[in-house]
């Protein structure tokens, strides 16, 4: 198979909804909650393929998520992190992403978690 044909197949596979573990097409569908200290929890939704939801600029957010290899990966164990406190913000992201169930927790308790937060900061507006 020519290289350009293979590349076209790869790009076409990225354009549509994700495929779940059981082979069914599933759009990315996320629920995002953010709390800053004792303040109220703010809630947003994000759907991709097609972009939508209550998160500001959903098409932009979907495109940025698509470019990240593993945007919701936790900090690996046994990693030394700077002891820098980044603030009281916490966020939870739940739903389906790339065909798989997702539940990720974010905080700003040390340098590693701040870097992880900053990687997907576009999902947490007004924080």
- Which tokens belong to 3? 């290289």
CA quadruple 117, 118, 124, 127: dihedral positive or negative?
A: positive
Please report the domains of the chain, with CATH numbers, ordered by start residue.
3-123 (3.30.350)
In order along its 127 residues, the chain shows pLDDT tens digits of 443 333 333 333 333 444 545 555 567 999 999 999 999 999 999 999 899 999 999 999 999 999 999 999 999 999 999 999 999 999 999 999 999 999 999 999 999 999 999 999 999 998 7
The pTM (predicted TM-score) of the whole model is 0.78
CA distance 93 to 30: 7
Name the strand (E) or helix (H) holding 31: strand 29-36
Q: C-alpha 19: how far from its chain's center?
A: 17
């Amino acid at each position: 198979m020519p290289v350009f044909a293979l590349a076209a197949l790869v790009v076409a596979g990225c354009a549509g909804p994700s495929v779940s573990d059981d082979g069914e097409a599933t759009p990315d569908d996320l629920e995002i909650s953010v709390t800053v200290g004792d303040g109220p929890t703010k809630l947003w939704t994000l759907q991709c393929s097609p972009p939508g939801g209550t998160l500001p600029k959903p098409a932009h957010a979907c495109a940025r998520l698509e470019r990240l290899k593993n945007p919701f990966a936790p900090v690996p164990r046994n990693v030394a992190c700077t002891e820098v406190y980044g603030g009281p913000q916490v966020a939870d992201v739940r739903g389906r992403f790339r065909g798989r169930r997702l539940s990720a927790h974010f905080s700003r308790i040390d340098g590693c978690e701040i870097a992880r937060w900053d990687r997907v900061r576009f999902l947490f507006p007004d924080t």
